[in-house]
Structure 1
């Protein structure tokens, strides 16, 4: 899309809009940074380059829930890098302030790439059609025209999301096993109180955004994704196996299915 570079520039210029108003909900144990640490931090900022960080161009705000637990819902602040026409990647925080906690990551791919994935891989991904068309996924601060262009690129994409710090459960440290997250696919699934609180803080109206996006072309969701709708739960469990990435006998975090195979 020819307008994509301009869109990225616009997004970068406007990343500050709608930010600095959602602080993390939990405290991190530990002493405040010393003067020495602050001095080192300032020096590093002036001297070292950060190409992967500087490549982040877009801020998106939406909602996730745990695969297998639709009541385990939370707001997720995405900071997105556009790698190419078919792949984006996002770091996810529990707020949009300087001290926000890094909750996890999301990989976003086009419909074209998603169709090429094996059936078992597709089960790890969720569709974005409803999130976009409903107005639940927003780009705070973007002008309406830029928002429309961006969302036209996202509406038919698919995401794979892992949360590594479960701050919604009042955990002050990133404890436990990473969790596979899913996205909402229909009305009545997202807690209205979460949505209302988001709209208030970011000064947006989801229903107005929804009306603005009704003419976006949303193709039918590809079969094999959003498997939670069919009662299939995928989460990690500890098993004694090297796993697909292992080199010998190790402790491996596998899926529920792999755990059962190990027992057999």
Structure 2
């Protein structure tokens, strides 16, 4: 089963990412179903599937299902492009393709998915911890550092919208991952890497307030990630015992 899933996903990656030029994507977005590259794209997927499956045509039904559904999924994506957020649309598009692949694998190698695992204590603990590291930590940090308003003090950094929030979430996820893998050296490397990138900001800052603001935010972010990471490890150990 696993071998078939890997083969189908590999074919999808080859067709959707590796061998699809940006010019094709642009042409499809403009011309929708009239774009010749939409059909070239589907043909490319067909070739990738046949090649990866080593010309084993016992999978002809699965190949047919994937190709037909891929066409309609891509067409729906193109039609919804002007109406929905492109990032959301991309995620839904890829999810739909993966669901089709999973269903095709089930046709040839029937398996029973254990939905109980989604509600197992360990799974719920992991989900809770990840939400704490991302959303809860962001709100905690925003609440704590809101007492210092750089805009009121005339200190405002030119940066991408919400970039700081995304960077904070990513760094906390990395720290959390390093902790549960018991790779504490990785946290030190992450702190060092962030310090290097932030050094130019700190050295250029004429106002001491910006430097202090950045340091407080960084220490809070890492501190919360370590706190929730250790909490996850401790509770996880209690569950196992």
TM-score, structure 2 normalization: 0.27
Q: Greater helix percent: which structure?
A: 2
Query: Highest Rg: 1 or 2?
Result: 2
Q: Greater strand percent: which structure?
A: 1
TM-score, structure 1 normalization: 0.25
